[in-house]
Amino acid sequence: MKSKISVAILGATGTVGQKFVLLLQNHPWFEISELVASPRSANRTYRNACAWKQDKPIPYVLRDKLLLEAGSELSSRILFSGMDSSVAGPIEEDYASKGHIVISNSKNHRMDRDVPIIIPEVNSSHFEITKKQRFKGAIITNSNCVVMPVAMVLAPLHQAFKIKWVQLSSMQAISGAGYPGIPSYDILGNIVPFIEGEESKVETESQKILGRLDGNTIEPADFVISAQCNRVPLVDGHTINLSMEFEKKPSPQQVGDILRSWKSLPQEKRLPTAPRSPIIVFEEENRPQPARDIWLENGMAAYVGRIRECPIGHIKMVVLGHNTVRGAAGAAILNAEAYLSLGYLG
């Protein structure tokens, strides 16, 4: 690639926005040229407006950059969006109507008929539907942060053995709720067995991602998911315990072999943000663990362990994902890389 492509970050001050800032610094294809947030932050410097919570400092060149107000005219064609879902819907539509390519983390448009939820390892063919969108530009979404590692695991297994049902229970870190998120009094030394709106997302998004593109629509995959979602006192990393039944019963060994060897478009095209192995399977019986494993493959893989027989279904296992990297900003960046590498931007 000759010169870098200018990009903007919408919601640049938030939890996901901060991860975009870190992951895009020194990116070989993209250069951050605009930082955008709410009217509260507009015209303030990034370091002043942002409650920076990352373990690395704000990149020096962005510290004193002035924030723009969401809705204002932007020169970047690609907009990475980490805006609060209470406002993201119409703002993203407006930018897409003006010709921008909006790569979004928010739930607002994920289930729209003409908007894909992309995991490039799983369904890059669904990018095609962006050509039929009502916008001059496009909206492309990535999934919910629990769905991401789960759908990555389900995809090769569904292809090999056809899933009938999945039952899962999540242990989700506090960064998944943004900043300031859940009050410390409610989460320290505690588990909260309710995350508003989460279970319905987890029960529906995977089927769309694993669905079949049929002309102007995506036919969802035909299996059912039952989810129970819990908030736990960890900063980063969502762990999911799941059981499943298939049409064709596999052995734990077969499941491990398929997950371990799975590779797809981002790996074949060597996209800059792609993990070398999208799924890491642990042999140790006490892994994966959020405190030990979420930075393997730079946070971009799904980490799997304890694959064993389930006495009710066929197979059970533990899946872990980095919610703000592979489950949010890193996923969106990989989507932009895949979209570009497939020639959709001309």
Ligand X SMILES: NC(=O)c1ccc[n+]([C@@H]2O[C@H](COP(=O)([O-])OP(=O)(O)OC[C@H]3O[C@@H](n4cnc5c(N)ncnc54)[C@H](OP(=O)(O)O)[C@@H]3O)[C@@H](O)[C@H]2O)c1
CB of 238 to ligand X, least distance (A): 8
CB of 89 to ligand X, least distance (A): 10
* Euclidean distance between CA atoms 35 and 22, whole angstroms: 13
Nearer to ligand X, 70 or 229 (CB): 70
Nearer to ligand X, 256 or 290 (CB): 290
Question: Which residues belong to the active site?
Answer: 145, 238
CB of 230 to ligand X, least distance (A): 15
- Helices assigned H by DSSP within the chain: 15-24, 46-49, 85-97, 120-123, 147-161, 184-187, 198-209, 252-261, 265-268, 290-293, 330-341
Residue 73, CA distances (Å) to 8, 9, 41, 337 in order: 11, 13, 16, 24
* Euclidean distance between CA atoms 263 and 266, whole angstroms: 8
Binding-site ranges for ligand X (CB under 6 A): 11-17, 37-38, 40-41, 70, 82-85, 87-88, 105-107, 145, 175-176, 178-179, 323-324, 327-328
Q: What burial class does residue 191 get, using C-beta atoms within 10 Å of its C-beta: 0-12 exposed, 13-18 middle, 19+ buried? A: exposed
Residue nearest to ligand X (CB): 14
Nearer to ligand X, 205 or 297 (CB): 205
CB of 29 to ligand X, least distance (A): 22
Q: Could you tell me the two tokens for 125?
A: 């063919």
Nearer to ligand X, 13 or 133 (CB): 13
Nearer to ligand X, 88 or 225 (CB): 88
CB of 234 to ligand X, least distance (A): 12
Q: Is the CB of residue 123 less than 8 Å from the CB of residue 116?
A: yes
* Euclidean distance between CA atoms 66 and 43, whole angstroms: 5
DSSP 109-151: TTT-TT--B--HHHHGGGGGGGGGSSSSSEEEE---TTHHHHH
In one-letter notation, the amino acid at residue 117 is I
* Euclidean distance between CA atoms 182 and 77, whole angstroms: 34
